[in-house]
Structure formats: C-alpha cells, structure tokens
Structure 1
Amino acid sequence: MLARLAVRNVRRSMRDYAVYFVTLVFGVAAFYAFNSVQSQSVLFDLRGVASADAFDLTARFLGMFSVLIACVLGFLVIYANRFLIRRRKREFGVYLLLGMRPAQVSAIVLMETACVGAASLAAGLVLGLALSQGLSFLTAGLFSIPMQQYRFVLSAEALRQTLLCFAIIFAVVALFNTLSLRRCRLVDLFGAAVRSERSRIRSPWVGLAGFAVAVGLLAWAYGTLLESGLTEFGAEFWKATALMVAGTFLFFWSAAGFAVAALERVPGVYFRGLAMFTTRQVASKVNTAFLSLSTVCVMLFFSLAVFSTGSGFVQVFSDGVEEGTLFDASLTADVYLALDGGDDEAAQAVREKAGAYGWDIARFFDESVPNWDEFVEKAAQADLYQPREGTDTYGALMERLGAGVDGGLQEEALAPQTVGVVGLSQFNAVRALAGRGPIELSAGTYAVNNAVALSEELSRAMAEEGVEIEVGGRVLSASGLYVEQPLSTSAFVTDGAMLVVPDETVEALRAAGEAPYASYLDLSYRTDRAEGDRLLEEALALALPAEGREGAQEPSYDRSPWPVTATYTADEVVEQSGGMRMMITYLALYIGFVFLITTAALLAIQQLSEASDSLARYRMLAEIGCERRMMFRSILVQVAVYFLAPLALAACHTACAVSVIARDVLDQLGVSVSDAVAAAAAFTALVYGGYLLVTYLASRGLVRASLGRRLLG
C-alpha cells in the first residue's frame, strides 16, 4: 500500500518534480559521459605515447573535478528536497492524523526518493550513453585523427562511478528527509501552510549603507585584480578573490532594502499597477535567500569564466600547431645552460666539444650514427646569438622607437637583454626546409624575424622605421624586411623580434669569441614521421648513451647543453596539442554546464516554492478584482529579477576576470576572446533563459490552477 501511495504521489507531483528531475537527468548524463572519455581511446589508433598520455591525463583531471561536480549535484538534490518536503508538510500531517506512524511516512518519502532517483538515473544514463558517443566524434576532431572503426562504447568504470556516486547522494537525501520528518510535530506540519519565512525588510538606511560598502568592496576587488593581474596567484589575487566574495554577499544582503527604499521615492513607478506588490514579493525573497543568491552568483561567475576562457585556451593549442610543425623534428641545444651557469669548466667543456665539430650538430650525428643519412633526408641548423658586448638592448630599442611588447612583465624581462641574431644563410636553409623561398640582404643591413604576437609591434617598428642597430660593435641599418618564420618544431612558437644578419656579421661574432646561446637542428625524414621518430630515438641513444639505461625498453639519451638538450617531433607536438585541446574543452564543458544548470535549477525551485507559498496572496488579488494579465506580469517580473540579478553581477565579475586573463595571457598569444565570450553568452542565454521561461510558465500554471477559471475570469 505504501509503495502504491508513493508512486501515486510522484505521478501527482510531476509538475513539482519536473525542473528537479530534468536537471538531475542532465547531471547524470554529463557525469557519465565525461567520465567515459578514457574508454573512447579504443576507437582511435593511438600510436604515439603522447596521445595515450593525453587520454590518461584528461581522465584523471575529469575524475578529480567529478568529486566537485558530485558535491554540487548533491547540494542541489538536498536543497531541492528541502523545498519539496516543506511544501508537503500539511500532506504529511494528514497522513499522521489518519493513523500512520512517523516511520511509515518516512518510508513513503524514502520510496518517492528512490522512485525519482531511479527514474532520473535511468534517463540520465541513456542520455549519457548517447552523449558519450557524440564526444567520441568531438575527440576525433580535437586530435585531428580518424577513427579506426566506429563502434558503440559502454564504459563499465564510468557506469560504476555514476551509480555509486548518485546512490550515495540519494542515500544521504533519504536520511535527511527521514530525520527532518521525524523531528516535526503534528502542529508544526499543519501550521507550515500558514507560516512563511520572515519577510522583514531591512531599514533603508542600513540597506543603503550596506549597498554602498558592497559596491566599494567590488570596486576594490576589480581594481586589485586589474592592477596585479593573473601572472601569478599571489597574495593580491587572493585578496581580490576575498573582496569579490565578501562584496557579493553584502550586495545581496543589502540590495532588497535599498531597492525598496529607492522605488518608494518614485511614486509614479511604485504605485503603478502591481509594482508595490511585486517589489515586496521580490524583496521578501531576496532578504531570506541572500545566502543562496550569493552562492548562485559565484557559481555563475565560475561557469561563465570557464566557458569564456576555455575556448580561448583551446585556440592557443590550435593556431600554433601548423606553424610549429613545419619540420618533422627539431633537436635543441640550450648552450646558455653551460655558458651562463657559473661553472667555467662546464662551459669550457661545451666549447671544446662543440668546437671539435665546428658547432655543427648534423656533423656530430653523421659521424656518430652510421645510418643517419638513411632516415634523415635534409637538415638545417640555426644558431642564435645574443652578443654580450657592443650590442643594443631591447630596452634601448623600445625607448628609441616608442614601441613595446604586450604585457608589462614580459617587457620588463626583455628590456635588459641584447638583441638576438641569426645568420642569413642558416635562416634561408631553415626556410628552404620549410618549403619557403629565401630572403636577400645587402651588406650592412638586417631583416626582422618575428613569429610571436606579443612582440609584433616592436618587431614591425624595428623593420619599418629605419632604425640603426649595433650588433657586436657593427652598426646595421634596416632593410625593411619583416618575416614570420618559426625556427624549430614547437607547440608554442617563441621566435620573436630577432635580427637576420649577413653571414659576415656572425663570423665576426665568432671571431670575437661569441658562442650561440641556443642552436636548433631541424630535420626532414626520408620515411614517414612515425618511423622517422623511432629511428631518431635509436640514433640519439646510440650517439649519446645515457648512463644506467643499458637494456632499458625505451631508448634514452644523455641530455646536455650541446649537442642535444631536448627533442621535439611534429607528431608529438600534434598529439600533445590535441590532448591539451581535449582536456581544456572537456573540463570547460563539464564544469561550466553542470554549474550552469545547477544554479538555474536552484533558482527555479526557489521561485516555484515562492509561487506555491504565495497562492493565498494571488487569490486575494483576484478577489479584489485584479486582472489576470497584471498578476501574470507580476510573476514574470519576479522570476526575471530573481534570475537576472545574480546573472548580471556574475557577468560583471566575469568581464573583469576575462579582461585580465585576455590581457595577461591570451592577447600575448595572439588569441581573441571576443568569439569565445559571444559563444558563452549565447549558450548561457539558451540554457539559463530556458530555465527562466520554464519557471515562469510553471509558476503561472500554479497560480492558474489554484485560482481556477472563476477567479481568473
């Protein structure tokens, strides 16, 4: 009998459970789909270790954030149940009055929770299975690799995690409901319908003072963040965060009293239609729910910020891949590690070793690896110099040209450095390997090579304004040539504001004892890239055997300032970039979407509960002759204000944070956030606006059903 009663109650209360149920379905679907990402790896040919590692890393991060997501969804379920239980206390009182024991009432609620939970889990898992299949195609696009053969993938681990997580959530909810019902007395249950939460409006002067302090705190937070930036999460960042949170809570604590006082002083607005009733309704709710509204605002800010910047960071790993993979592989020798390390013996050893081969890395491998020419078709070396004496610094050039680089810290770090140079013949050899034509320079001139967005202004000024630059005691004039040529394989191109100089200038630097601070050897394979990468690993292990690695399964080599400090292959860069794109995209979608639907659902449940509690007030309005249109308009205004107030403040927080992230990070990488912000705004409007519309229609339906045709007319 109790089971039939529980099922009947769920069917009868479908309208009450609708928003809650749909949000749970979305939450379960997202939880399963994003935790099944690692299982999708069976659909792809992951030849590279980087690709497999990318799936593992993404899965680990999603698993870590799933704990946070589970807590957020658990909070939603408990909070929603609190409102649903409070709405039905009179019904539970009737059960007790008819002779049911408290344990039986608790059993009914437990079965209702199990029924709704099982239904939402089942529907969510079905939707999650479909969503996970769609994510596999998104993964293929992010990695730029085809599927071997599509097949339906069911992740047993993700299914187990989802069932376990939501089983725990619903068990906690059931315990919470049981305890709350057993503490209630019969008089409390019957009196719940006529008691409402305190609706006292705070003193307008207190509200005004609180509102002014809140605005001041938020302005202080924004100013602190704009000044300190996001280059590091130091004391100023946490200070700005604390001020923002405190200002947000104080804003909603004081907003109701301030708004009522302000509207009361505009009689033409306050006494028009149901404006007074609507204002009091909203103020009453905001006064009692300012904590939840503040929490919703912070969660919305986090969701909007993640959405707005996530796609920007994805673009960072997309835009540079093509230019960063012009060569099959690049060997990097960071000579400066020895020259600037303070160890004279180490520096001398590097000079002697490199000098024995004429600083020619390709010659070293040609003499050390018998099959070098069998898999390396072409090679081009670029030696980069920063002469210590008789050379202009970037700071001096910035002052003379009135141009700089984007980002204060980067400009400050670059200013004391002498100008970097590369020889013309080596530069043209690198361009030839990339399939590009050579450049020409007259004697005593220079060209500017820049492939970095943050130094474009300075580089163009150096090339186009005819400034003379001293390099190693020689004064060179501008040729007017501005070139964008990456010099090595890399996920992030870092070749910026560098001079291309005649070979005789480089020879003079060498004759004066200058050594390159770094060298790149770019390679083009005779074989395909996968086979070439394998042979390169074996060649490195043969030419530069690492101590203690004999018999190891994976080849390794001794890394040193010369001839090789690190290797970067095109396939690895593509795989790593694809992995980062996948991880950032999935985290942004996962966190942003769940936070967005959770906040919208919380507001929807609160407004539906408020509409239910206010039915007597709407009945009174109808009885004194208030038109249906005016009441429905009042409901719309209440719902809109309740939804849009936290969204508006969250948008202000987001605008400040995103502008700082764009200034300090994305702009310097040549990435615009405008498209990302527009996409985030459109998605938020769709989801959040959908919840707002559904809440309004449901609230209007409650009032319509309660008043009936006779009162509404």
Structure 2
Amino acid sequence: MLCKLAWGNVRRAGKDYLVYLLTLTLAVSVFYAFNTISIQVDFVSMEEALSQLLGGIFSGLTLFLAAVMGFLMVYANGFIMKRRKKEFGLYQVLGMSRGQVARVMALETAIVSGAALVLGILFGVGVSQLMTFFTASIFKTQIANFHFFFSMQAFTLTVGCLFVIFLVTLAFNLLVVGRTSIIDLMSAGRQNEAIKTRSPMLSAVVFVLGVILIGVAYYRLLRDGLPVDAPAAEMDAAMNQFALTTGIVVAGTILFFFGLSGFLLKMLQGAKGLYWRGLNMFTLRQLSAKVNTVSFSMAMISMILFLAITSVTGGMSIANVMNTSVERNNPADYSRIVIYYGERTLENSYDSDRPMGIAEEPFDIVELSKGDRVNPGLANEEAFDLDGILGKRVQVEGYDSTPRGGSEPLVTLNQLCEAVDMPLPVGTGSANSNVMGLQVMKESDYNRYRAFRGLGEVDLGSDGYLLTSDMGETVNKVYDAAMREDVAIPFGDVTLHPRAKEVDEDASTFADSSMGSNSGTIIVPDAVAERANLPLYASYLLGDYREGLTYEETEGYVRADRGWAPDLCDANGREVGLWGMEMTRIQNYEGTNTMNGLISYLAIYIGFVLVIACAAILTIQQLSSVADSGKNCRILSELGTSRHEIVRSMLAQQAVFFVFPLIMGVAHSMVALHVVIEIVALFGGISIGMTVAATCAIFLLCYGGYFMVTYFMSKGIVSDAIRVRHAH
C-alpha cells in the first residue's frame, strides 16, 4: 500500500522532482564517465602508472564533488518538502503515523534516486564510449582494439556516492517531518519566508562601497600579480598581500549583492516613466525583497562561477601553450647538459669529499657519458655509449656573463628593459637572465649549432651581437625591442651593436625541454668573449639518432636502468660541475601530452560540476520563491492583470538572479585570467579566444538549460496559483 502511494506521489509531483532528478542524473553521468579512465587506458596505449594516477585523482575528486552534490541535493529536496508539507500533514490527520509517513518519504526518495541512477548510468555509459576518443586525442595516442565496455569499478563508486547522497537527503526529510507539528505542516502553504527590508538609500551606499572594493581588488591584482616570482625573502609578504587582495574582492562581492536591490530600486525610481509602467513597480519591489534574502548566496554563486570559469579557461589555455611550446623547444632527438660551478657556487659550497674548483676547459659530454653504466650489476653491464646511437650531433658551450673576479654581470634582462623603457616581464624577477645575467655564447659555437639545425651562418663582425631566447612573447618582445631600437651594449672593452631586428625563435633552443630553457643568451664574437675572461656556465649536447635504429635501440637504450657517472672532476681532482638535464624529444612529447590531458580533464570535470551546482541552486531558489509568491499572483490576477504580464514579471526577476552572478563571475575571471596569461605567456604565445568561446558555449548550455527549466516550471506554478483563484 505504501509503495503504491509513494509511486503515485512521484508521478503526481513529477514537476516538483524535475530539478532534483535532472541534477542527480547529470551528477551520476559525470561521476561514472570520468571514473572510467582506468578502462580507457586499454584502448589508448596509455602507461599503466599514468592510468592509476588519473584513476586515483578522479576517485578522490569524485568523493569531494559528491559531498558538494550531497549538499545541493539536500537544498533541492528542501524545495520539494516546502511544497509538500501540507500533504504530509494531511496524511497524519487521516491517521498515518509519522513512521509510515517516513517510509513513504523514503520510498519516494528511493524511486527518484533509482530513476536518476538508471538514467545517469545509461547516459554515462554512452558518454564514456565517446570519451575514449577524446582521451586518445588529448593524450595524443592511438586507439587500438576498441569495443564496448562497462566499468564495474566506476559503477560501484558512483552507486556508493549516490547511496550516501540518498541517506543524507532521507535523514533531512525525516528531520523536517519529525520536528514539525501537524499544525505547522498543514499551514505551511500560508507561511512565506520572513523578509527583512532595508533602506533603499542605505542599500545603494552599500552597493557603491562594494563596487569600490572590487575595483581596489582588481587594481591590486593587476599591479602586484600572482606571488610566483617574489624573492624567497619577500615571499611571505607577497602571499599576505595576495591574501588581502582576495579578502577585499570577496568582501566587495558580498557588499555588491547586499546593496544591489536598493541600488536598482533607487535608480529606476528616478525614471518615473519606466518605474510606473506595467508591473515594473511590482517587479522591482519583489526583486528588492528577494535579493535581500539571497544576497549572500548570490555572492557565493558568483565566486564559484569565477572558480569554474577560471579553472576551465586557464587550464585549457595552459595546456594549449604547452602543446605549442613543445614543438618549438625540442630541436633534437636527444640532449644532455653539464652545468659548471661558478664563483657564487664556491662561496656557498656544501661540504664535499673533494675540493671544488672552476672548470678551465669544457668536458666532452659523449666521452663523459661513458662513465654511466647500463644495466649496472648485471652480466650484460656496459658503458653508456652515445656514439652507438647518435648520428648527427653538436656540442656548444655557454658562458657566465659575470667575468672572473667580477661581481656584476655584463648584461641583464632588467638593463635591457630600462634601455627600451619596458617593464620587467612578470615572473622574471628571479630568473637567471636577470639575477645572473644573460648567458653568453661564442659566434663559432652558435654557427655550429645553426649548422646542426640546417640554418645558415651569422656574421657578427668585430662588434655585433644577437639575442636569443626560447621563452614566450613577454620576454622576447624585450629582446626584439632592444635589437630593433639598436641598443648598444657595453661588453668588456667593446660596445656591441645588434645584427638583427628580432629573436630567431627557430634557432634559440639549446636543449630539449617542455616549456623552454633559454631565458636569454647573447651571441658575441669569439674574440670579444675571450677578452672578457668569462667562466664556463654550461655545455649542451644535441643529437639525432642514427637512421635504421629501432625504438628499443634508441629510446629503450636511453631509458634503461643506468648507474650514473661519478662526480665531474678536472685533471687536478677538483669537482668542477654536475650533470644537468638529460632529455629526449619523445619523453618531452609524452610528458607534455600527459600533463595536457591531466589539466584538461581536471579543468573540465571541476568546472562542469561547479556550474551544475550553481545553476541548480539558483533554480531551486527561484522555484521556492515563485511558490511563495502564489498568493501575490492570485491577487494580481483578481485585479485584472493578465497571466502573460505576471509571467513576464517573474521572468525579469529570474533573469536578474541568473545573469548578475554570471556577469560578476565573468568579470572576476577576466581580471584573474589577465594575470594568469601574463605568467603563462613567459613560455609561449597564448591565444585564449577559441578556449573562451568553447568554455562559454558549454557553460551557457548548462546554465541556460537550468534557466529554461526554471522558467517553464515557474510558469506552471503561476498557472496553478491563478487557476486556484478561478476555481474559487
């Protein structure tokens, strides 16, 4: 009997359960689809370790997002309970015990949750099949042996999350009915939310104060940026300033929405013709009262939308920059670096078993690498032989721009910025090109490097220079300006002049890397470098694999278990350097593809769930408000107002509640993204146009979908309220 009653109630109250069902179905679909990553690895040739990492991250993230959705479902269910309190009170008047009412509620919740589970899993299974192709695309891998799949692990995790949400929702329902008297349940339809009104003038002042605080926060963020390049001694102060900026923008956002209603009312009251037209006065009064009660939640929704938009747009833009940079920053199949100690290193040296010194001559990296042992301790142990796998190769040397015995570098990034009247690029305050000065390379070494790249030689004459960098536009535009404006650089006993107008980005990378490794190198004539008495800074080996060798004979050989070479010592037994980065082009591509995929997945997953949560909360708020306004709708109808005008007034109110948090969230995001992009632009040119367009399209589809659901459900509630009037 109770099952039949519960089933009938769900069918009859289907419109009330629509938001609950829709949101829970989407949550189940997203939870299942994104947790099938461990199955998708079988089709896209992804490493097992990466699969386990992604699986662990998404499992943990799903539990966090499930808690968010659990709160949302309790909030959504509160709307349903508010609409049906009178019904539950009537059950008790007719003789049902509270225990029986509780069982009916449990059955109704179970029916809706079960329907959401079935619909969500069906949709999620379909999405997960399509996601396999998206995964292959984003991780730059191939699909092999694709077939239909179902992940029991993802299903179990999703069911577990849904079960917890179900229990929390049920406990909330039972608590509401158990603590509410029958009289209160029966009179719930006549009880509206208590509304506290404020002085329009005071609200307008609060609104203006909020706008001022937001403007101050924007200015501080644009001026100070993110605390990523502050010196170690100033990091705590920079973090405190950033925390203060964050607090100011949060406070300003809250005040903005607390004063919004009074500001709108005061502003439109001045426009008499508009204020007294149609139902505009009623609409503004209703809007003012509602904003007063939900202003804090609107502020929080705008902040959550800001996080969602920033995470998706920023994450996808970073992935795009990485994907573009990796193609430019890997000129060879294999590269290895030796870093030499400088005078600063010796002054701050750690305790060593042998004396340390300054290198007089560069090492031959190919010969030095033979000190590595492949398969150490095994019967097939052998020296690491780069000669056997590398065909065309080149080794070039970089020099420290601070002369031996000197205390200041000959040329720094900051000096070039001052020469061309440009600010120091964000994020470069502690970069080598600024603190240690630009790296110096001899003209002969640079020409040998260019020959390896298949490029023509450069001729600097006796007093020419070139600037090179494989970083992004914010750094390179300084170097371009310096050469274009013919900036003269004092360099030892000579003044150098540029021999080009811009950085040659195709000939600026001296080692394989993912995001750039040359923050600034000045190419000078050999004689000039020798007279300047510069110490060695680094040796760079670049090489391409011999033709005809297999992947196992090249990449497999480089990545094999290896015992590293002993310390780098000169003929006198002094330790003069250490091994730097060893990298291959394929390793960088794989690492970049992995990072791109991880960033993109996390950005989309988090952003999508947060947008759903925000839209659902707004929907529930508005439906609850419309339900409370039923009496007002009946009065307007009795006074002769048409249903069309009442619905249009309701639509205008709902548009404000949906649009203003979105506008505020977008405004916060644009300012934050401007700062983020300045940092990201250090590593490559960045264009977020397509990313922003795609993100906005997806968000508007979800956000606008909930707005349309709100509108059509509200029309039904208004129609029911007016119909009650006509029935009487």
> Shared topology, TM-score over 0.5?
yes
For residues 391 and 539 of structure 1, do their structure 2 counterparts lie closer, same or farther at Cα, with a shift above 3 Å needed? farther
For residues 153 and 410 of structure 1, do their structure 2 counterparts lie closer, same or farther at Cα, with a shift above 3 Å needed? farther
Q: Which shifted more, 313-322 or 343-352? A: 343-352
Quote the Cα distance in structure 2 between the aligned partners of 1:218 and 1:420: 42
Q: Which amino acid aligns with 1:318?
A: N
What does 1:598-609 correspond to in 2, within 5 Å? Answer: 598-609=613-624
What does 1:303-382 correspond to in 2, within 5 Å? Answer: 303-336=308-341, 340-342=345-347, 343=349, 358-365=362-369, 369=383, 371-382=385-396
Q: Does 1:478 align with 2:498?
A: yes
Deviation digits for residues 168-197 of structure 1 (CA, Å, limit 9, x no counterpart): 111111111111101111110111111100
Match of 1:686? 701
| Contact 1:338/1:561 (<8 A) preserved | no
Q: Which amino acid aligns with 1:331?
A: R
Q: Which amino acid aligns with 2:544?
A: S
Match of 1:536? 558
For residues 251 and 365 of structure 1, do their structure 2 counterparts lie closer, same or farther at Cα, with a shift above 3 Å needed? closer
- Secondary structure of the corresponding residue to residue 500 of structure 2: strand
For residues 273 and 33 of structure 1, do their structure 2 counterparts lie closer, same or farther at Cα, with a shift above 3 Å needed? same
Q: What is the CA distance between 1:572 and its match in structure 2?
A: 1.5
Q: Does 1:433 align with 2:429?
A: no
Match of 2:375? none
Q: Which shifted more, 31-40 or 475-484? A: 475-484
Q: Which shifted more, 678-687 or 55-64? A: 55-64
Give the one of 488, 500, 510 matched to 1:487: 510
Identity of aligned residues (%): 32
Match of 1:221? 217
Deviation digits for residues 216-255 of structure 1 (CA, Å, limit 9, x no counterpart): 3323322332232113471122212222222222332332
Q: Does 1:502 align with 2:502?
A: no
- Secondary structure of the corresponding residue to residue 524 of structure 1: strand
| Contact 1:92/1:189 (<8 A) preserved | yes
- Secondary structure of the corresponding residue to residue 621 of structure 1: helix
Q: Does 1:247 align with 2:244?
A: no
| Contact 2:346/2:357 (<8 A) preserved | no
Quote the Cα distance in structure 2 between the aligned partners of 1:115 and 1:337: 73
| Contact 1:361/1:563 (<8 A) preserved | no
Quote the Cα distance in structure 1 between the aligned partners of 2:328 and 2:684: 13
Deviation digits for residues 594-630 of structure 1 (CA, Å, limit 9, x no counterpart): 1101111111122122222222322222222112321
- Secondary structure of the corresponding residue to residue 447 of structure 1: strand
Give the one of 131, 137, 144 matched to 1:141: 137
For residues 155 and 373 of structure 1, do their structure 2 counterparts lie closer, same or farther at Cα, with a shift above 3 Å needed? same
Q: What is the CA distance between 1:651 and its match in structure 2?
A: 2.0
| Contact 2:139/2:593 (<8 A) preserved | yes
Q: What is the CA distance between 1:346 and its match in structure 2?
A: 6.8
Match of 2:262? 257
Q: Which shifted more, 451-460 or 639-648? A: 451-460
Q: Does 1:109 align with 2:112?
A: no
Q: What is the CA distance between 1:297 and its match in structure 2?
A: 1.8
Deviation digits for residues 57-106 of structure 1 (CA, Å, limit 9, x no counterpart): 43333333323311210111000111110110111111111111111111
Deviation digits for residues 257-293 of structure 1 (CA, Å, limit 9, x no counterpart): 3333433343322211011221122222222222322
- Secondary structure of the corresponding residue to residue 674 of structure 2: helix
Match of 1:553? none
Deviation digits for residues 151-210 of structure 1 (CA, Å, limit 9, x no counterpart): 233333222221111101111111111111011111101111111001342122332332
Quote the Cα distance in structure 2 between the aligned partners of 1:404 and 1:267: 51
Deviation digits for residues 523-573 of structure 1 (CA, Å, limit 9, x no counterpart): 211224553133234596375599xxxxxxxxxxxxx97463221111211
Number of matched pairs:
690
Q: What is the CA distance between 1:677 and its match in structure 2?
A: 2.7
Quote the Cα distance in structure 2 between the aligned partners of 1:461 and 1:264: 55
Q: What is the CA distance between 1:507 and its match in structure 2?
A: 4.5
Quote the Cα distance in structure 2 between the aligned partners of 1:92 and 1:443: 95
Give the one of 41, 55, 59 matched to 1:59: 55
Quote the Cα distance in structure 2 between the aligned partners of 1:22 and 1:444: 72
Match of 2:235? none
| Contact 2:433/2:519 (<8 A) preserved | no
- Secondary structure of the corresponding residue to residue 334 of structure 1: strand
Match of 1:300? 305
Match of 1:384? 398
Give the one of 131, 142, 161 matched to 2:157: 161
Q: What is the CA distance between 1:351 and its match in structure 2?
A: 5.7
Match of 1:557? none
Q: Does 1:400 align with 2:419?
A: yes
Quote the Cα distance in structure 2 between the aligned partners of 1:225 and 1:508: 46
Quote the Cα distance in structure 1 between the aligned partners of 2:350 and 2:601: 49
| Contact 2:441/2:522 (<8 A) preserved | yes
Quote the Cα distance in structure 1 between the aligned partners of 2:128 and 2:45: 19
What does 1:616-655 correspond to in 2, within 5 Å? Answer: 616-655=631-670
Q: Which amino acid aligns with 1:41?
A: V
- Secondary structure of the corresponding residue to residue 579 of structure 2: coil
| Contact 1:338/1:346 (<8 A) preserved | no
Q: What is the CA distance between 1:340 and its match in structure 2?
A: 2.1
Match of 1:555? none
Q: Does 1:444 align with 2:459?
A: no
Match of 2:17? 17
Match of 2:231? none
- Secondary structure of the corresponding residue to residue 193 of structure 1: helix
| Contact 1:449/1:497 (<8 A) preserved | yes
| Contact 1:231/1:664 (<8 A) preserved | no
Quote the Cα distance in structure 2 between the aligned partners of 1:515 and 1:533: 34
Quote the Cα distance in structure 1 between the aligned partners of 2:113 and 2:576: 61
| Contact 1:32/1:162 (<8 A) preserved | yes
Quote the Cα distance in structure 2 between the aligned partners of 1:347 and 1:385: 27
- Secondary structure of the corresponding residue to residue 146 of structure 1: coil
Q: Which amino acid aligns with 1:446?
A: Y
Q: Which shifted more, 116-125 or 684-693? A: 684-693
Match of 2:438? 419
| Contact 2:371/2:566 (<8 A) preserved | no
**Structure 2 unaligned residues grouped into runs of 5+:** 229-237, 373-382, 404-408, 569-574
Q: TM-score, normalised by structure 2?
A: 0.88
Q: Does 1:469 align with 2:510?
A: no
- Secondary structure of the corresponding residue to residue 410 of structure 1: coil
For residues 397 and 301 of structure 1, do their structure 2 counterparts lie closer, same or farther at Cα, with a shift above 3 Å needed? closer
Q: Does 1:577 align with 2:581?
A: no
| Contact 1:7/1:115 (<8 A) preserved | yes
- Secondary structure of the corresponding residue to residue 470 of structure 2: coil
Match of 2:604? 589
* Greater share of residues in helix: 1
Match of 1:170? 166
Quote the Cα distance in structure 2 between the aligned partners of 1:6 and 1:109: 7
Q: TM-score, normalised by structure 1?
A: 0.90
**Structure 1 unaligned residues grouped into runs of 5+:** 547-559
Q: Which shifted more, 7-16 or 198-207? A: 198-207
